[in-house]
Amino acid sequence: MIAGRFAPLAVWLAAVVAVHGYDFIGRSPVRWADGEIPMNLQLDLTLSSHLLRDGKSSWNEVALEALGLWNGHLTPVQFTAYTNGIRRDGNDQNEVFFSSEVYGHRFGGSVLAITTAWRIGARRIEGDTIFNTAIDWDSYRGALEFDTLDLRRVAIHEFGHTLGLDHPDQAKQIVAAVMNSIVSDLDALATDDVHGARALYPPDARYSISLEVVPPASGTVTATPAPDLDGKYPAGAIVKLRAKPNRRQRFNFWGGDQNAAGRTLKVRVVDDETFVANFSTNGAPVVVAQPRSQISNFSNPVTFRVRASSTTPVTYQWEFNGVAIPAAAGSELLLNFVSHEDSGLYSCRITNARGETWSRPARLVVDGY
């Protein structure tokens, strides 16, 4: 039996990393065998309950709601709940409780909760979740309050670790996800979280992949293997996409959250999705420094930068989610005071006399989403 590392959740810190998607614990996914995942909820046994701000009167009730959110997106496995007074590491039970320590070890500064990871090979066999009693806990929705923390959103995160999901931001990925290593204003599962759960535990479902070329007729995209007769793939299938530019065109990148530069892209089918291959003419500007995706706190300034190479003069036009931003016509884009409404994809269209090209889209995530 092998004990995996702890998965701590800490308070919000700003970071700058690259775009991608969900992440798994370990190089190979660690997952539960199909069936029930019994959770021994001992929160009310280890911290006195009171009327919480969301109307609940029980800590265990908060945990049950968090488990239910994951269950709504799980088919091969389902969380179940029971309560007894046993608390011991390595006993093949999944205890959930409050404590001032983690089985004799200190939590460490700013750590809110920890989920342990016991496994045999790639099979998960135990995961205890311990919430830090040094924190002032409550249960509420909306913006995060740093003097009183919301148990529900932290429990959702920790139970994602129980399933086998890790921190996408620490894997150098920028996505809106409750599984990021920082607690934020996001208080529910995001699309990336759901996709991660489906990737680990594929449902009995089929999804379609749509392929687009931008600009039209500038290249082709093929998918291997081809979809089944219904035009769909089973959940969890791995599909290789390959982009090929037409004559006098060059491939730039895959659009959206894939944000990859290589012509070949491997994707795991977890939803109905569209993949966009972006091309430009050979004479168009070449982007030599791409804008970087960023995570930011509310009200902070954020700057995106791009640099292009061209034999003739160029013009710049920044876009937000594909729509031109008025008066954003330089190689830098400064957002002085960001809010949730500024979260999304930023790209720059760069034009010279022989054509136009786009930078890879950079994602901005403000306070969690």
Q: Verify that 231 and 97 share a domain, yes or no.
A: no
The total number of structural domains that make up the chain: 3
Q: Verify that 299 and 171 share a domain, yes or no.
A: no
Last-in-domain residue among 281, 316, 343: 281
The 8-class DSSP code of residue 62 comes to H
How far is 300 from 304, CA to CA, in rounded Å?
13
pLDDT for position 29: 86
Last-in-domain residue among 200, 227, 242: 200
Q: Verify that 301 and 273 share a domain, yes or no.
A: no
Contacts of 324 (CB under 8 A, 6+ apart): 317, 318, 349
- Amino acid identity of 338? V
Q: Verify that 106 and 178 share a domain, yes or no.
A: yes
How far is 207 from 227, CA to CA, in rounded Å?
10
CB atoms within 10 A of CB 232: 16
Q: Verify that 345 and 264 share a domain, yes or no.
A: no
Q: Verify that 55 and 141 share a domain, yes or no.
A: yes
Q: 2 burial class (0-12, 13-18, 19+ CB within 10 angstroms)? A: exposed
CB atoms within 10 A of CB 276: 17
Last-in-domain residue among 281, 307, 335: 281
pTM for the predicted model, two decimal places? 0.90
Q: Verify that 192 and 170 share a domain, yes or no.
A: yes
Asked whether 214 and 220 are in contact (CB, 8 A), the reply is no
CATH number at residue 120: 3.40.390.10
Q: Verify that 12 and 98 share a domain, yes or no.
A: yes
CATH number at residue 291: 2.60.40.10
Q: Verify that 217 and 322 share a domain, yes or no.
A: no
- CA 119 vs CA 35, 67, 89, 267: distances in Å: 16, 21, 13, 27
> What is the chain's alpha carbon radius of gyration, rounded to the nearest angstrom?
23
CB atoms within 10 A of CB 269: 23
pLDDT tens, per residue, the chain with 369 residues: 333 334 555 443 222 222 347 888 877 889 999 999 999 999 999 999 899 999 999 999 999 999 999 999 999 999 999 999 999 999 999 999 999 999 999 998 789 999 999 999 989 999 999 999 999 999 999 999 989 999 999 999 999 999 999 999 998 889 999 999 999 999 999 999 999 999 999 999 999 999 999 999 999 999 999 999 999 999 999 999 999 999 999 999 998 666 677 899 999 999 999 999 999 999 999 999 999 999 999 999 999 999 999 999 999 999 999 999 999 999 999 999 999 999 999 999 999 999 999 999 999 999 999
Q: Verify that 133 and 277 share a domain, yes or no.
A: no
Q: Verify that 167 and 239 share a domain, yes or no.
A: no
Asked whether 180 and 244 are in contact (CB, 8 A), the reply is no
Q: Verify that 217 and 319 share a domain, yes or no.
A: no
Collapse the DSSP code of 187 into the 3-class scheme (helix H, G, I; strand E, B; otherwise coil) and give the result: coil
Lookup: tokens for 228:
């089944």
For 14-47, b/e burial (b = at least 16 CB within 10 A) is ebebebbbbbbbeeebbbbeeeebebbbbbbbbb
pLDDT for position 146: 85
Name the β-bridge partners of 302.
Answer: 335
Instruction: Report the largest interatomic distance among the alpha carbons of the chain, rounded to a whole angstrom.
Output: 74
pLDDT for position 255: 83
Domain range holding 120? 2-200
Asked whether 79 and 71 are in contact (CB, 8 A), the reply is yes
